[in-house]
Structure 1
Amino acid sequence: MATKTEVTVEDKLRALYDLQLIDSRVDEIRNVRGELPLEVQDLEDEVQGLKTRIDKLKTDLETINYEISAKKNLIEDAKALIKKYSEQQKNVRNSREFNSLAKEVEFQELEIQLAEKHIKEFKAQIDQKKEIVSGTKENLTERETHLKHKKGELDAILAETEKEEKALMKKSEEFEKIIEDRLLNAYKRIRHRVKNGLAVVPVERGASGGSFFTIPPQVQVEIASRKKIISDEHSGRILVDPALAEEEQKKMEQIFDKVK
């Protein structure tokens, strides 16, 4: 293939249109995948989030159970002190000592009541959190099933198209190398600006491909002469004549068939 300095305008047009056909084919392959990769990523993030939530809830339950155990130990200690103080009351020498021990017993009884109240509240929290864990697990199972289904869809599409896409991307890079930087940059700029990614289009029924704007006959003649690069004044797309487009399409179809 000729080098960048040796190519004619026609060679440049053919190379640009070939590059467009390759890139459009890559676009088609990626469109088949559509939003699937993003859907899979979102589902993976959601599943991870649910797992993290379940882990946190389990940690919370462990903490609450620890607190319940601590309160039960406090109750046992308080009961032991009440028994101790009650025994001591039997051997007091005066009412002051008796009243002092009575206050200690009363304090420990209040400690028991408070601890029992806290245990009741903790148990209510456990029931609530267990309910949340159960619902979150159900949601996780449903999301994991959905993720598995979507990953299966994506894997099937990738298995069919990944080889072809890689081969086409390599071809795209090869064609980019024979196009001068100025034209290549213009091609990429137009391609990223237009919705369908078509930067090089043939003249169809007297208008720019994909456009309804008529191209004057004299300009059509200039395009067909392949002597200079001509752009559509409305869209900025680079224009090629129908005959060149048809020739290149046939040539590229053979290449596409080989890389499938």
Structure 2
Amino acid sequence: MAKKKEATIEDKLRALYDLQLIDSRIDQIRNVRGELPLEVQDLEDEVLGLKTRMDKLKTDVETINYEIGAKKNLIEEAKALIKKYAEQQKNVRNSREFNSLSKEVEYQELEIQLAEKNIKEFKAQIEQKKQVISQTKEHLSERESHLKHKKGELNDILAETEKEEEVLIEKSAEFKGNIEERLVKAYDRIRTNVKNGLAVVPIERGASGGSFFTIPPQVQVEIASRKKIVTDEHSGRILVDPTLAEEEIEKMEKLFAKYSK
């Protein structure tokens, strides 16, 4: 059985840069999606909160209407008692009984007055709550419309990119599996520590890609020789020469074009 050919430094650099191109493509897809998933989630939470508020307000109105009904019943009962006491007053034997019944009548009249006052207050509460319900309903309708629009945007983007992203995530894992562990760990560490996620960059106009720090000519020659993995002393990024970068970009763009169909 033929012995597997050991990867050269150039092979490792190409593999690392290919991995970077795949991961950058995934980053690009996620950037296009941007904050939309969070926006949709926030809007869903807001709509749910407004619906919960509407339900509570409606329950409050039902409860107040029940209280109004109870007060109306109390008024009817009080009126019936007043009528009863008035009839009884016609048949009293002495002033003490008459006065006692008069106090009962007076008490029931006060009960009626208090109940009518409560009903008036309850009706005012209902009007106030109905106004809030109307405002909340209007706000809910606007938020639901906005949510529908944002969901549509998100679904369109997902439809365009979800499949490609899934394939690229698998490819990223596959490429990592073909690179020695220590280099993958270094790559992941650098990628985590830099803002734009670029762990492997080509030299551009004599400087590290995305940086303004010039690479000394002798180091540029060393990078171009592809005999050693060189990192930028300022950013820690792994450096590749422009020719290698162009070759791998051309190769990987063909791959991306196939996945994005």
Do they superpose with TM above 0.5? yes
Q: Is 1:182 aligned to 2:182, yes or no?
A: yes
Tell me the equivalent position of 1:244: 244
Q: Residues 4 and 185 (structure 1 numbering): CA distance in 2 closer, same or farther, change over 3 Å?
A: farther
Q: How far 1:219 sits from its partner (Å)?
A: 1.2
1:251 maps to amino acid = K
Partner-residue secondary structure (3-state), 1:239: strand
2:215 maps to amino acid = I
Tell me the equivalent position of 2:127: 127
2:132 maps to amino acid = I
Q: Is 1:25 aligned to 2:33, yes or no?
A: no
Q: How far 1:111 sits from its partner (Å)?
A: 0.7
Tell me the equivalent position of 2:97: 97
Q: How far 1:5 sits from its partner (Å)?
A: 9.6
Once the two structures are superposed, residues 15-37 of structure 1 have per-residue CA deviations (whole angstroms, 9 ceiling, x without a partner) of 11111000111111111112111
Q: Give distance in 2, aligned partners of 1:153 and 1:60.
A: 37
Alignment size in residue pairs: 258
122-131 or 92-101, larger mean C-alpha shift: 92-101
1:145 maps to amino acid = S
Partner-residue secondary structure (3-state), 1:159: helix
1:4–1:178: 8 Å Cα contact kept in structure 2?
A: no
Tell me the equivalent position of 1:167: 167
- TM-score normalized by structure 2? 0.95
Once the two structures are superposed, residues 138-187 of structure 1 have per-residue CA deviations (whole angstroms, 9 ceiling, x without a partner) of 11111111111111111111111111111111111101111222221221
Tell me the equivalent position of 2:118: 118
Once the two structures are superposed, residues 170-208 of structure 1 have per-residue CA deviations (whole angstroms, 9 ceiling, x without a partner) of 111101111222221221222122221111101111110
Partner-residue secondary structure (3-state), 2:202: strand
Once the two structures are superposed, residues 31-89 of structure 1 have per-residue CA deviations (whole angstroms, 9 ceiling, x without a partner) of 11121111111111111111111011000001000000011111111111111111111
2:51 maps to amino acid = K
Tell me the equivalent position of 1:66: 66
Query: Which runs of no fewer than 5 residues in structure 1 stay unpaired?
Result: none
Q: Give distance in 1, aligned partners of 2:201 and 2:4.
A: 22
Q: Give distance in 1, aligned partners of 2:111 and 2:125.
A: 21
Percent identity of equivalent pairs = 81
1:107 maps to amino acid = Y
Tell me the equivalent position of 1:158: 158
Q: Give distance in 2, aligned partners of 1:259 and 1:31.
A: 18
Partner-residue secondary structure (3-state), 1:198: coil
Query: Which runs of no fewer than 5 residues in structure 2 stay unpaired?
Result: none
Q: Give distance in 1, aligned partners of 2:176 and 2:31.
A: 22
> Structure 1: which 4+ aligned runs deviate by more than 6 Å?
none
Q: Give distance in 1, aligned partners of 2:31 and 2:207.
A: 27
Q: Give distance in 2, aligned partners of 1:42 and 1:125.
A: 31
Q: Is 1:205 aligned to 2:205, yes or no?
A: yes
1:40–1:147: 8 Å Cα contact kept in structure 2?
A: yes
Partner-residue secondary structure (3-state), 2:227: coil
Q: How far 1:136 sits from its partner (Å)?
A: 0.7
Q: Give distance in 2, aligned partners of 1:189 and 1:123.
A: 66
1:88 maps to amino acid = Q
RMSD over aligned CA atoms reads: 1.6
Tell me the equivalent position of 2:107: 107
